[in-house]
């Protein structure tokens, strides 16, 4: 198994070796990074035979022509969500506007979001390689999935359990309860924690051992504090934040304001 981390947002790409090629999970964010990865795999004699997007955020549904034309999977809800984005004739302009300005010119959008949704309730990725269990849950984004590579005990967590990003909740609206949804997602990840030796978050550092459960506990503590209207005691926020990640405090402030408005309108959401 191989890992690659992007320079700007510390996106983690995971390469799982199978019998005839590799499974590529969340392949990267800039054209240069993905082309470099494709070249490295060619030199190793490892073609890409399958891809998987853990969720429909822009930085997890990109691709590069040099990676080939392997099927790119996601959950059914993930694929439906990104289809909704692509159905808007102005999707490319909107996507470009949302890119970090530092890399906006380097992000290829020509194969953006071309995800094949797996049938609902699919529990494993269909490919000729190690068993990869799909753990779909409602936290963070529609159709979000963590992947457990069972034979080596690696959990690819998508945009959860990061040491640099706080839990980012799905949008507050009239049809969902993002606090409750996030707690459900954490419970599902906790259910497999005993089978996990190594955790790979969507952003930030890889960890192992007791740190896996520590990150679950940290994310739950943050969500509880947000739900209860308390200031979180969280090292990812404020002066203790990792240099270059101070902007995460702005995400927290926005989530706290959104939750307050949602609570005033519809009552207090989210119970453990």
Confidence check: pLDDT of 270 > 80: no
Residue 244 pLDDT:
93
pLDDT in tens, 202-254: 999 999 999 999 999 999 999 999 999 999 999 999 999 999 999 999 999 99
DSSP state of 197: S
Task: Report the predicted TM-score, pTM, of the whole model to 2 decimal places.
Answer: 0.93
Q: At what angle do helices 210-228 and 178-191 cross, to 10 degrees?
A: 160
| Reported confidence tier of residue 170, pLDDT bands at 50, 70, 90 | confident
Average pLDDT of the residues in 72-90: 97
Q: What percent of the chain has pLDDT over 90?
A: 90
Residue 260 pLDDT:
87
Residue 271 pLDDT:
41
pLDDT in tens, 45-69: 999 999 999 999 999 999 999 999 9
Instruction: Please give the CATH number for the structural domain made up of 133-272.
Output: 3.60.15.10
Question: What DSSP string runs through 4-60?
Answer: EE-TTT-BEEEEEE-SSSEEEES--SSHHHHHHHHHHHHHTT--EEEEE-SSSSGGG
- Sequence-distant (6+) residues with CB within 8 A of 133 are 123, 124, 147, 148, 150, 192
Confidence check: pLDDT of 191 > 80: yes
Residue 266 pLDDT:
64
Integer CA distances (angstroms), 258 to 151, 170, 178, 265, in order? 41, 11, 11, 11
Integer CA distances (angstroms), 137 to 72, 96, 134, 141, in order? 19, 28, 10, 9
Residue 172 pLDDT:
61
Assigned token pair, 69: 């034309």
Confidence check: pLDDT of 174 > 90: no
Confidence check: pLDDT of 89 > 70: yes
pLDDT in tens, 92-147: 999 999 999 999 999 999 999 999 999 998 999 999 999 999 999 999 999 999 99
The answer to whether the beta carbons of residues 248 and 164 sit under 8 Å apart is: yes
CA distance 137 to 157: 11
Per DSSP, helices labelled H in the chain are 31-43, 76-86, 91-97, 178-191, 210-228, 248-266
Q: Which residue has the higher pLDDT, 148 or 173?
A: 148
| Reported confidence tier of residue 272, pLDDT bands at 50, 70, 90 | very low
């Amino acid at each position: 198994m191989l890992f690659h981390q992007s320079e700007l947002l510390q996106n983690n790409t995971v390469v799982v070796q199978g019998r005839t090629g590799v499974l590529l999970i969340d392949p990267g964010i800039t054209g240069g990074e993905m082309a470099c990865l494709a070249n490295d795999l060619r030199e190793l004699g490892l073609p890409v035979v399958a891809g998987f997007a853990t969720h429909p955020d822009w930085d997890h549904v990109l691709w590069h022509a040099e990676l080939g034309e392997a099927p790119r999977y996601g959950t059914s809800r993930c694929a439906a969500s990104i289809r909704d984005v692509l159905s808007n004739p102005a999707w490319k302009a909107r996507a470009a506007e949302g890119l970090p300005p530092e890399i906006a010119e380097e992000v290829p959008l020509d194969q953006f979001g071309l995800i094949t949704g797996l049938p609902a309730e699919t529990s494993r990725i269909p490919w000729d390689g190690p068993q990869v269990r799909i753990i779909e849950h409602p936290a963070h984004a529609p159709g979000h999935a963590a992947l457990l590579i069972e034979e080596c005990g690696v959990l690819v967590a998508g945009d959860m359990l990061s040491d640099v990003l706080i839990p980012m909740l799905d949008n507050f609206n009239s049809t969902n309860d993002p606090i409750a949804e996030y707690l459900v997602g954490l419970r599902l990840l906790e259910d497999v924690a005993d089978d996990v030796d190594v955790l790979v978050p969507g952003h930030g550092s890889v960890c192992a051992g007791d740190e896996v459960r520590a990150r679950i506990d940290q994310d739950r503590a943050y969500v509880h504090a947000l739900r209860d209207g308390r200031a979180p005691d969280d090292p990812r926020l404020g002066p203790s934040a990792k240099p270059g990640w101070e902007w995460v405090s702005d995400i927290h402030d926005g989530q706290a304001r959104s939750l307050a408005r949602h609570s005033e309108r519809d009552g207090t959401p989210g119970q453990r």
